Amino acid sequence: EDQVTQSPEALRLQEGESSSLNCSYTVSGLRGLFWYRQDPGKGPEFLFTLYSAGEEKEKERLKATLTKKESFLHITAPKPEDSATYLCAVQGGDNNDMRFGAGTRLTVKP
Amino acid sequence: GAVVSQHPSWVICKSGTSVKIECRSLDFQATTMFWYRQFPKQSLMLMATSNEGSKATYEQGVEKDKFLINHASLTLSTLTVTSAHPEDSSFYICSAPPRTGVTDTQYFGPGTRLTVL
């Protein structure tokens, strides 16, 4: 069965303090690994899709990387507006649905 | 990116009543849509896969007679919570992939907050 584990559960950073969020996964035949941002009371907002080990994608202060076992979401010089829950999900095998991790709640203090 | 809408954004109902939630793909056709449920401070749990023109596929432990799903057109799926009870109070979110049969990003609706009194 597909499994996604995110760590840490919560992360508090000072503005400008770079860090990384981890997503470890077990899936049969990975077709895609997805990162989403979710603000309270809202639906997830798409950030990145990674398809194969070694792939990297960047968007503003965020950079996502992928290995065969895990993905990292690196946040460089975060700002308070980056505060949100970051969700990781995988899609594998013949399934089109996604399996989500529990998320990392990021708080960036000014 | 593709846009998915949900209606209503929030609803409060009495125990025992039924509530219908709509999920629409606004600028693309979706033969498949997914329904998720999210409890406070927890992640999204897939409830069911909605297929246009055929029966929905439910995840293990989800009561198909309680959560009725209808996908009558390529842009609309509905989730009806029948005989709702307080334990059904949750955040319900739908999603849809813009392309079928290909690994692709799913776009999520804004969610519907259901509170059952």
B56-113 pLDDT per residue, tens = 999 999 999 999 999 989 999 999 999 999 999 999 999 988 765 554 678 899 999 9
From the number of C-beta atoms within 10 Å of its C-beta (0-12, 13-18, 19+), residue B62 rates as: middle
Q: Where are the alpha helices (DSSP H) in B1-117?
A: none
**Substitution target from A1, A37, A46, A55 for chain B, most B beta carbons within 10 A:** A46
Nearest to A100 among B32, B43, B97 (CB): B43
CA angle (A69 as vertex; A68, A72 as ends), nearest 5: 100
Beta carbons of B48 and B59 less than 8 angstroms apart: yes
Cβ neighbours for A73, distance < 8 A, ≥ 6 positions apart: A20, A21, A23, A35, A47, A62, A63, A64, A86, A88
Would the CB atoms of A34 and B105 count as touching at under 8 Å?
Answer: yes
**Is the pLDDT reported for residue A94 higher than 80?**
no
Any idea of the CA torsion for B78, B84, B86, B88, to the nearest 10 degrees? -40
Distance CA(B5)–CA(A48), nearest Å, equals: 21
For chain A, first and last CA: distance in Å? 41
A49 contact B CB<8A: yes
B40, pLDDT greater than 90? no
User: What is the C-alpha separation between B45 and A14, in angstroms, rounded?
Assistant: 31
Query: Which residue in B has a C-alpha nearest to residue A84's C-alpha?
Result: B41
**CA B36, B38, B43, B45 torsion: positive or negative?**
negative
The shortest CB-CB distance from A43 to any of B93, B104, B105 is to B93
User: What is the least distance, in Å, from the CA of A14 to any CA of chain B?
Assistant: 22
Higher pLDDT pick, A91 / B85:
B85
Banded model confidence at residue A97, pLDDT cuts 50, 70, 90: confident
For residue A39, count other CB atoms closer than 10 A to its CB: 11
Predicted local confidence at residue B23, as pLDDT: 96
Distances (CA, A) of B16 to A67, B30, B67, B70, B85: 48, 32, 13, 21, 6
A1 shares contact with chain B (CB less than 8 Å): no
Model pLDDT, residue B101: 54
Instruction: Give residue A8's pLDDT.
Output: 97
